[in-house]
A and B are shown apart, each in its own frame.
Chain A
Amino acid sequence: EAQVTQNPRYLITVTGKKLTVTCSQNMNHEYMSWYRQDPGLGLRQIYYSMNVEVTDKGDVPEGYKVSRKEKRNFPLILESPSPNQTSLYFCASSSPGYTQYFGPGTRLTVL
């Protein structure tokens, strides 16, 4: 089954404790992206990747890192999480110009 998977689905952590949210897709897509969704602000792009080893900042990249060492994986790294990074995070993938597929989301709470 074609899908985008994210782990963990739910995470509660404390300020400053490094964490990684994994994202994997099995559709051989070139494009992968990370978004955060917040009430009243909608979905905002954090980082995107157009292929292996090619990444670029989206609209809200501060406090986040990404890497794309393999085509199928695009982890999101929070080196020193802060409470303002409490949000619902989505990973997505697509082929250029085609339908974007979203993962189920990761609900992160930073205390």
Chain B
Amino acid sequence: KQEVTQIPAALSVPEGENLVLNCSFTDSAIYNLQWFRQDPGKGLTSLLLIQSSQREQTSGRLNASLDKSSGRSTLYIAASQPGDSATYLCAVRGASGSRLTFGEGTQLTVNP
């Protein structure tokens, strides 16, 4: 059974810092990996999707990498802003393409 772990559980940084969020998964037979953002009481917004054949994806200040063989992904946020404050979730889709397993998330606070 796939297990997804995110470290750290919470992170507080001053505005402007570059930061890295970590995601690890136990079964490397994945279809893809997706990073989401969730604001309090709201739904999930997709940030980046990395297919199993890809190594990284970039969108603006965000860069996500995938090392399938070691079961790891990182989300890099450059020049953090208070508006980046949210919970960031990593989700892995199994090789069959149907099941999506989530980590518990990293709660990020960016202080002005």
Enumerate chain A interface residues (CB-CB to B < 8 A): 31, 33, 35, 40-45, 48, 50, 56, 58, 90, 92, 96-105
B31–chain A nearest beta-carbon distance, Å = 6
Is A90 a contact of B97 with CB atoms below 8 Å? no
A-B contact count (CB 8 A): 51
- Of B41, B99, B102, the contact of A48 (CB 8 Å cutoff): B99
CB distance from A105 to the nearest CB of B (A): 5
Q: Given A97-B31, A97-B51, A90–B44 Cβ distance below 8 Å?
A: yes
CA distance A104 to B29 in the complex (A): 30
Which residue from B46, B98, B101, B103 sits with its C-beta under 8 Å from A99? B46
CB pair B43–A48 under 8 Å, yes or no, is no
A50 touches B98 (CB 8 A): yes
A105 in contact with B89 given A48-B98, A99-B49, A100-B100 (CB within 8 Å)? no
Q: Which residues of chain A have C-beta atoms less than 8 A from B43's C-beta?
A: 90, 102-105
Q: Does chain A have a CB within 8 A of B42?
A: yes
Chain A residue numbers with a CB within 8 Å of B97 are: 96-97
Report the minimum CB–CB distance from B57 to chain A (whole Å): 11
Residue B15 is within 8 A (CB to CB) of chain A in the complex: no
A79→B46 CA distance, assembly (Å) = 32
Which residue, A43, A44, A103, has most C-beta atoms of chain B within 10 A? A43
Indicate if the CB atoms of B34 and A58 lie closer than 8 Å.
Answer: no
